[in-house]
Chains A and B, each alone.
Chain A
Amino acid sequence: MIEFRDVSVTYRGGVRALRNVDLKIDDGEFVVIVGLSGAGKSTLLRAMNGLIPATGGSITVGGTEVVGAGRAELRDVRSRIGMIFQTFNLVHRTSVVNNVLMGRLAGVPAWRSTLGMWPAADREAAMLALERVGIVEKAYVRASNLSGGQQQRVGIARALAQEPSVMLADEPVAALDPVTSRQVMGDLQRINRDLGITTLVNLHYLDLAREFGRRLVGLREGEVVFDGDIDDVTDETFREVYGRAITDDDLKTAEG
């Protein structure tokens, strides 16, 4: 279970990215987070694995307190949380499998990963993760030679290689075309169902949110303004989150 209690994030310079957020997410949930850019979606996800430290409140992930955690504790929490990114964040100048192996960093002795002497079991886990997203045949291709959709799948494989209990996806399809977006969202949904991994996805596009989400959290200026079942979402809800009515720009299909 993930629990946010009265969480605030204030950046140096005084910008308040999150204000008194309370949130409870049960194991195995698939949660879509929507909001305008700057509403605090990215900050919310990054506060969970401590990439951005919360400045107030308490965040627990599977019983471990993240706020104020030491280095070792933070590494432990991070190893249980997989993360995928809008820009994929791959190392372009190395092979796909080397990228996926980064997901095994937490469990491998530092000298082994530093020298690139990955244990056979970890290599196997990396290949298994690639198999799960259906691109195992690209394992020894340079990451830069893949298409955007394939790169995001490598990103998902890297996160899966951690064998995580939580998956954070920060705008995972913002850089992809509508068809590929649906495939990648489908991958995430399948992983959530098959492996029971709690999944939180930041999305900008409302049609994708409706299609793939079960629970929707709406953020506006760092505050949670909606939290409920996706079926209860009305146009009024979106007006509250976005401060305006829906336009075609908010739909991924309309764009393509």
Chain B
Amino acid sequence: MAAALVVAYTVMAGRTVGFDLSTFWQVWSNPLWEKFWPVPWDWVLDRHNVLDPLVETFQIAIVATLIGCGLALPVAFAMSPLTAPNRVVLVVSRSIMNVVRAVPDLFWAKLLVTAVGIGAFAGSWALSVFSLAVMVKLFSETVDGADPRPLEAARAAGGRHMPVVRTGVLPTVLPEYVAYGLYVFELNIRASVVLGLVGAGGIGRVVEAQRQYFRFDRVLGVLVLVFVVVFVIEQVSVAVRKRLV
């Protein structure tokens, strides 16, 4: 019954947007596809054209990961009932993070490009906000689930709030923190490619520029290069994360 409803609705939705199987053929027979070949490797492997912006993307991702994850550590502690110094901090930090999370990262990028101008600087800031949001979401669950018993012991010893959290909770959540940090770095590499499309610097800007000139052969070459870089970074990160947790 439910399945029949889903199928019926899918067919109806397809009709509404003008979708039918013949459109596949239209897409694939478009002469646009011929423009992707052959890839001009000389142009792609030239330092100024692609490699420098690719390094810029890498740097944006590094800066954003460090800023975002650095801020996420105290914020995640402030947001957990287990580790918040008091109720006011708990409620305020939760409300702020809800707002930050509710705004999509592409919108943050647009907003920051408008605010600080086109370039890697805006991209770094947009991605920092994005990293903060993702990291807090992932890491707060770890903090919420931390063992409360060492915390009780540290409190019973008469410690102040900060040292109590530092000695009683941090060591138990640190491996997850580093693992999530590496994961956020992976996300940032991919996201900074996308952010370039809206003017936030890095390799995305090259893709966008070449697309506008209809140089799809160059676009394909850049994307292959990006794929290789992302793949290598992911493999390294996954291997490190496996050892951590």
A51 B175 Cβ-Cβ under 8 A: no
* Chain B residues closer than 8 Å to A98, beta-carbon distance: 167, 171
B167 A103 Cβ-Cβ under 8 A: no
B157 A106 Cβ-Cβ under 8 A: yes
* Chain A residues closer than 8 Å to B174, beta-carbon distance: 93
Stretch of A30-38, A77-85, A213-221, A245-253 on the interface side:
A77-85
Query: In the bound complex, what is the Cα–Cα distance between A74 and B160 (angstroms)?
Result: 10
* Chain A residues closer than 8 Å to B163, beta-carbon distance: 105, 108, 110, 113-114
B157 A91 Cβ-Cβ under 8 A: no
Contact among A79, A92, A110, A155 with B158 in the assembled complex (CB-CB below 8 Å): A79
B159 A89 Cβ-Cβ under 8 A: no
- The answer to whether A93 and B171 touch (CB under 8 A), given A76-B158, A105-B158, A114-B163, is yes
* Chain B residues closer than 8 Å to A158, beta-carbon distance: 153, 157
B150 contacts A by Cβ under 8 Å: yes
B155 contacts A by Cβ under 8 Å: yes
A180 contacts B by Cβ under 8 Å: no
Q: In chain B, residues 155-207, which have Cβ atoms closer than 8 Å to a Cβ of chain A?
A: 155-160, 162-164, 166-168, 171-172, 174-175
* Chain A residues closer than 8 Å to B242, beta-carbon distance: none
- Count of CB-CB pairs between chains A and B under 8 Å: 84
Q: Which of A74, A92, A102 is the most central at the interface, judged by chain B CB atoms within 10 Å of its CB?
A: A102
Interface size class of A (residues with CB under 8 A): 35 or more
- The answer to whether A91 and B158 touch (CB under 8 A), given A85-B153, A113-B167, is no
* Chain A residues closer than 8 Å to B153, beta-carbon distance: 83, 85, 89-90, 102, 155, 158
Query: In the bound complex, what is the Cα–Cα distance between A102 and B154 (angstroms)?
Result: 6
Which A residue's beta carbon lies closest to that of B159? A105
Contact among A85, A91, A101, A110 with B160 in the assembled complex (CB-CB below 8 Å): A110
A102 B152 Cβ-Cβ under 8 A: no
Q: Which of B155, B159, B174, B175 is the most central at the interface, judged by chain A CB atoms within 10 Å of its CB?
A: B159
* Chain A residues closer than 8 Å to B156, beta-carbon distance: 49, 51, 78, 81, 83
Could you pull out 20 A-B pairs where Cβ atoms are within 8 angstroms?
A: A51-B152, A75-B158, A75-B159, A78-B155, A79-B157, A80-B158, A81-B156, A83-B153, A87-B149, A90-B150, A91-B168, A101-B167, A102-B157, A102-B167, A105-B154, A105-B157, A106-B158, A110-B160, A113-B166, A155-B153
Across chains A and B, which 9 residue pairs bring their CB atoms closest together, nearest first? A105-B159, A79-B158, A106-B158, A78-B158, A113-B163, A89-B149, A89-B153, A94-B171, A83-B156
